[in-house]
Structure 1
Amino acid sequence: MVTLRDGADIKTLRVPAACLRPYTDRMVCRGWRSFAVGMAVVLALPLLAGCNSPDSEPQPTTGNAGPITVEINQSRDQYGKQAIQIQLTNTTDSPLTVTGALLRSTLFEGDITWEPTEGSLELPPRQPKSLPAALPTAACGTSSTDSSREAEARISYSEPGKELAEEYASASDPFGVLTRNASELCTATEATAVATIVLDPELEVAADGRTAVVRLVITPRTGGAAQSLTIESIDGTTLLAESPTAPWPRNVAVGMVKQELPLTIRPARCDPHAVAEDKVGTLLPLRITVGERQGVLKIAASNELRGKIYDFVTSACAGAG
């Protein structure tokens, strides 16, 4: 017997006994086989028709099957501004006109979008272009796993002489930009609920000009979250390092009393471009534990303090030379 499925129904065809014997009438068996194959085709037709039904919902394609590949990146300048780059590469030999780009990731509550300021953007053949996009609120209840390193992209574009089209593709994230930023945003949200942590705008420069003291001010929130907050350690930056004679504090528990932590700083580098090319040198990374979350909390210097730090580093490096 041969069993064929017709949707939820099962059809059974009985094989002629002659076709089961070693020596048989080939014409009879050949005819029966043709009949069985024909029945299989007839029963499969409704299923195939259902796949092409106009009432069925179209499914976006996945992977970079279209003319544009998508990759996620982040510049140093964007690092402290909660923004990323959507890098589009035109894989064709003709220019493409891009009118919009959208990323969707489970790590964020909303879409990450880019819209051109002048209505459209030309994407040259075989060349990439990076489009800046602000990050929305992070979805802090989402687990950060390796599977989160891909986001779904939707690109609106047109080819020369053709109408506007949309490409659905997977956006690769080789450096884990989305995972890192979502984690840091969630860490900041939870830490802010416990205490306000800022850098005092004043800078105390030592008499010899080689070191200075900046103060980290920690103010607990009245009636804030009940979870604990501990500053495990403080990292240096591309511009600032701790003084060997005055190490920065470690394992500082945040209680209900305001604290000021003096941090003795020195220049981390003195090359000619240290200050001129600085992007994140005044963004102080705190490694913290808040509740059950471990992460990095970035504390940015105010514009006033940033200027004083730049002056200090310039003067200290000049004196060291």
Structure 2
Amino acid sequence: MRLPRLAALSAVVLAATGCTSPAQAPAATGTGPAAALVAAVDQFRDQYAGGGIVFQLTAAAGTDPTVTRVELIDTRFGPGTVWTGNTVLPGGQTKSLPAALGPALCGAEGGGSPALRVALTDGTTALLPAQDQHGVLARVHGERCFADRAGAAVTLGLEDALAPGPFPDTAALELVVGPPAVGAGAAGSSPGTLGPAVLRSVGSTTLLAEDSCAPWPRDVPLVPGSGVAIVVRPARCDPHAVAEDKVGTLIPLALDVAGQEGVVKVAASPALRGQLYDAVIRICRDLGFGP
């Protein structure tokens, strides 16, 4: 059974992490308009799959500085989380600037103290403490490090073809289990050294749910070369279910990897995602929803 090329293990994981006291945020440094900015980090729903974030900058009322570069400084991530461009920050308003996160440093300790290094067109720069109201950086750091740990034990993907389910209002995904990922193990384990992972449970999404007559698999050892069927039905049939979907085809899998538990979300390939959308529309129509 081949591992789908386009549906490899997504680095979107909810890991069980220990409680640590966050490091104190650095005081703002710099001069001029850059030092007067208020900084924050956040993540939009359509960034979940890729692990991107947004830098949010707010300029003081009555000013309109132009920002050219923003860089994240955080001990939990390596260099490379940078936005560049040429954007005016309207006074009193918040501007969101997207950036791809650099590599997670899985040996990093402490709660992190994020800051943004900001440069403006007038030549001023500043290092600003960044609010992280939703705990985005801690969550993504845990996600990536558990994904790396899981990848040292097993590689997971979804077959590109959606199969008919056992009942008219269902369809069947196939989870394909492959050998450990090449290059996995940066979290402290070499590929193949953690032993088999165990699939504890499957989670629902905004688009897909479990059918009570075809329960999802539980406590299944994930052996390379094997497959696991996951029968799904629509979680909702309102007109916006497919039209506004962003994360409904990211399938949450609760895993146990050598005694550590976390949730890995495996992404459907573009081909499979289209088939899932078609299936949801068809099933909902057959159930009397929609035209």
Contact 2:165 2:231 in 1 (8 A): no
1:294 Cα deviation after fit: 2.6
Residue 219 of structure 1: aligned partner = 178
1:184 Cα deviation after fit: 1.1
Contact 2:152 2:194 in 1 (8 A): no
1:225 Cα deviation after fit: 2.1
Partner deviation per Cα, 1:248-306 (whole Å, 9 max, x = no partner): 11122234x52211111000111101101111110111122223543221100011110
Query: SS of 1:93's equivalent?
Result: coil
Structure number with higher helix proportion: 1
Distance 2:127 2:61 in 1: 17
Q: Give the AA of the match of 2:114.
A: A
Residue 62 of structure 1: aligned partner = 27
Q: Is residue 2:252 matched to residue 1:285?
A: yes
1:246-257 equivalences in 2 (<5 Å): 246-255=214-223, 257=224
Contact 1:104 1:111 in 2 (8 A): no
Q: Give the AA of the match of 1:121.
A: T
Q: Is residue 2:87 matched to residue 1:114?
A: no
Partner deviation per Cα, 1:99-126 (whole Å, 9 max, x = no partner): 110111111122411111xxx1100010
Residue 55 of structure 2: aligned partner = 86
Query: SS of 1:245's equivalent?
Result: coil
Residue 202 of structure 1: aligned partner = 161
Among the aligned pairs, what percent are the same residue?
39
1:208 Cα deviation after fit: 5.6
In the superposition, relative to structure 1, how do residues 129 and 64 fare at CA in structure 2: closer, same or farther (>3 Å)? farther
**Which of the pair has the greater relative contact order for Cα pairs under 8 Å at 6+ separation?**
2
1:224-239 equivalences in 2 (<5 Å): 224-228=191-195, 229-239=197-207
Residue 156 of structure 1: aligned partner = 119
In the superposition, relative to structure 1, how do residues 291 and 64 fare at CA in structure 2: closer, same or farther (>3 Å)? farther
Contact 2:68 2:84 in 1 (8 A): yes
Distance 2:52 2:267 in 1: 15
Contact 1:183 1:295 in 2 (8 A): no
Distance 1:155 1:242 in 2: 47
1:183 Cα deviation after fit: 1.2
In the superposition, relative to structure 1, how do residues 242 and 142 fare at CA in structure 2: closer, same or farther (>3 Å)? same
Q: Give the AA of the match of 1:240.
A: L
Distance 1:168 1:211 in 2: 53
Q: Is residue 2:122 matched to residue 1:134?
A: no
1:81 Cα deviation after fit: 1.1
Q: Is residue 2:149 matched to residue 1:187?
A: no
Distance 2:193 2:158 in 1: 24
Question: Which of the numbers 67, 80, 91 marks the counterpart of 1:125?
Answer: 91
Q: Give the AA of the match of 1:187.
A: F
Query: SS of 1:262's equivalent?
Result: strand
Residue 261 of structure 2: aligned partner = 294
Residue 135 of structure 2: aligned partner = 176
- Following superposition, which runs of at least 4 residues in structure 1 exceed 4 angstroms of deviation? none
Please report the TM-score for the alignment, with normalisation by the length of structure 1: 0.73
Residue 71 of structure 2: aligned partner = 102
In the superposition, relative to structure 1, how do residues 304 and 166 fare at CA in structure 2: closer, same or farther (>3 Å)? same
Contact 1:288 1:295 in 2 (8 A): yes
How many pairs were matched up? 251
Distance 1:286 1:173 in 2: 27
Q: Give the AA of the match of 1:75.
A: F
Partner deviation per Cα, 1:72-93 (whole Å, 9 max, x = no partner): 1111111101211111111231
Between stretches 101-110 and 303-312, larger displacement belongs to 101-110
Root mean square deviation of aligned Cα: 2.2
Query: SS of 2:241's equivalent?
Result: coil
Residue 268 of structure 1: aligned partner = 235
Contact 2:252 2:263 in 1 (8 A): yes
Contact 2:83 2:97 in 1 (8 A): yes
Residue 43 of structure 1: aligned partner = none
Contact 1:64 1:170 in 2 (8 A): no
In the superposition, relative to structure 1, how do residues 224 and 169 fare at CA in structure 2: closer, same or farther (>3 Å)? closer
Question: Which of the numbers 159, 162, 167 marks the counterpart of 2:126?
Answer: 167
In the superposition, relative to structure 1, how do residues 227 and 260 fare at CA in structure 2: closer, same or farther (>3 Å)? same
Partner deviation per Cα, 1:28-54 (whole Å, 9 max, x = no partner): xxxxxxxxxxxxxxxxxxxxxxxxxxx
Query: SS of 2:76's equivalent?
Result: coil
Contact 1:67 1:92 in 2 (8 A): no
